[in-house]
Chain A
Amino acid sequence: MSEPSARLDNVPAPVISATALTKTYKDMNAVDGISFEVAPGESFGLLGPNGAGKSTTMRMVGAVSTRTSGDLTILGMDPNAHGPEIRAQLGVVPQQDNLDTELRVRDNLIVYGRYFGLPRAEVAKRADELLEFAQLADRSKAKIDDLSGGMKRRLTIARALINEPRILLLDEPTTGLDPQARHILWDRLFRLKELGTTLVLTTHYMDEAEQLCDRLVVVDKGRIMAEGAPAALIREHSSREVLEVRFGSDRNAGAAAALAGIGDRLEVLPDRILVYSSNGEEALVEVTRRGLAPITSLVRRSSLEDVFLRLTGRTLIE
């Protein structure tokens, strides 16, 4: 099976550089002075809840939304001056699929390839390769409306690869997909990553960020709260393990007082209490020793969700 080829030749480092990037709508700062760099071949993520400014950032990086202030260069070019030249080398997977429902599956790839000035024969060849890659070869004549959500997503990704992009931008790539479809998609994205494609993705799923990102920024209210590799962020902002105990919603607050001093830190949520500790089992022993009887208890490793909670006091998905 043929693979979309990576293009790492002649790419300036970093491929994306944003400094104090800001986007202001009438009365609000959707993106409020964020700075980051993405290296060639890197897989970079923006993790944050809905409305954090991730999609707006992606549109600015995608050279379709004009920044209000700050500096931004993509592949060494300023999108204000070189929009078409930048977009010629990007692959974009938007949050909402915008496949052409009036065209069949394969024709969607063909018309899109033409936008990059590719000859018809070349586009046809790549379309067939990409349908293989997206596991849609047997659907090439299907109507878009007859595809499942996961298939549409894969077709959108295939479409984004038709110009052999240097950078692939994915805005919430698996939102709304069932677990199986998500895993198929992750597998495809992981393969691209192995081939050296630079990936930039936004997500509000911590597992997705952990799976796909070499490095990420945690974004909230248009600002960057933290930056680093997933494991490093967890190490830095959370304990190794977390004990989750539930006492029922009316007893939660009272139990929290009795738990004081166990572990490094407590986080009281409406439905449960999180006890941050290097050893969750020991913390649980201490809880029972104090005579508290949680309805359920669970010991797990810290995740990016905990990092986000620590940094913002809120959960990612509300």
Chain B
Amino acid sequence: MSGLTAAGARSRRWGAWYVAEHKIRQMRGYLGTVVATAIGTPVLYLFAFGVGLATLINGNVGPVPGISYLEFVAPALLASAAVLVAMEEYTFGILLGLKWNATFVGMNASPISPRQIVNGLMIFVGLRMVVTTVIYFVVMVIFGAVHSPLAAMTIPAGMLAGFAFAPVAAYAATITEDRGQFAILQRVVILPLTLFSGTVFPLTQLPIFLQWIGWLSPLWHASELGRQFAYGPTEPIWLTVTHVAYLLALGILGWQLCVRNVARRLNK
């Protein structure tokens, strides 16, 4: 009997990594697009905001004395890029696997558990975010938006921002009929969050009755977090700790809910 029960042992331990490996193989098909986006996005955004828009801003001075507008805006743009990558996988990645190209169903028929499927997706999102944010950071250095080695901490801060959108994945796992929910989500939730999150101007510029959007937004927390390392501190330490805690809490909550929802969906 021991021979029989030992059969799934490797899969029990490494299953999530096998799922991530599968996702990487899938990505080979559109690797060119991924790389082009990862390099093109920072070049375009940093040029548009840091060079173009900055000329309109009084002497390219950021809201913090001695810090250029480019330095102010770069950590937030990097975080937005990570969020974009995460959102893509948390929406289409989930619905692809459950419905359009039902690979999750196939995985689940093997020793892989629903939890491992979701964990594998999370690992893959993490890897994609690493690639995206590291490239972003390199472009920031080239554009002269970085003046301290500590600014490299904008990379994990940006990744935390992406992870904090995991509740979107949990929601995606409940969708059975595609009626354009992702487009609505993008316009009604993500876009306003991006605009009112102190990304391209400080949150304090907004009237107080709009500032709450920023306080809820993972993007605001991640942008401010990155800025503390890039040129800070500009805020009390408790607030910095709050950023990390808030982003982690959202991410872990969404991740666990996603595991639950995917498991329910697959156990018909």
Interface residues of A (CB under 8 A from B): 10, 12, 56, 59, 62, 64-66, 75-77, 82-90, 92, 94, 96, 98-103, 107, 110-112, 114-117, 159, 163
Contacts and interface: CB of A to CB of B under 8 A. Distances in A.
B29 to A, nearest CB: 6
B186 interface: no
Contacts of B240: none
B144 interface: no
A183 B30 CA distance: 38
Interface in B80-116: 101-103, 105-113
B7 A88 contact: yes
Given A114-B21, A116-B11, A117-B10, A75 B4 contact: yes
Nearest to A75: B4
Contacts of A77: 4-5
A59 B101 contact: no
Given A76-B4, A84-B8, A100-B101, A111 B21 contact: yes
24 contacts: A62-B109, A64-B108, A75-B4, A82-B8, A83-B111, A84-B8, A84-B15, A85-B111, A87-B110, A88-B11, A89-B7, A94-B105, A98-B102, A100-B103, A100-B106, A102-B26, A102-B101, A111-B22, A114-B21, A115-B107, A115-B110, A117-B9, A117-B18, A117-B111
B267 interface: yes
A125 B199 CA distance: 52
Nearest to A85: B8
Contact of B26 (A85, A99, A103): A103
A297 to B, nearest CB: 46
- Per DSSP, chain B at the interface is helix
Given A87-B8, A98-B106, A100-B26, A115 B15 contact: yes
Contacts of B179: none
B9 to A, nearest CB: 7
Contact of B111 (A10, A59, A88, A103): A88
B3 interface: yes
Contacts of B26: 100, 102-103
Contacts of B109: 62, 64, 87, 90, 92, 94
A283 B104 CA distance: 56
B266 interface: yes
Contact of B103 (A83, A89, A98, A116): A98
Interface residues of B, number: 34
Given A64-B109, A77-B5, 4 more contacts: A64-B108, A84-B15, A99-B106, A117-B18
A87 B114 CA distance: 13
B214 to A, nearest CB: 38
Interface in B1-27: 1, 3-12, 14-15, 18, 21-22, 25-26
Max chain A Cβ within 10 angstroms of own Cβ: one of B12, B29, B108: B108
A114 B18 contact: yes
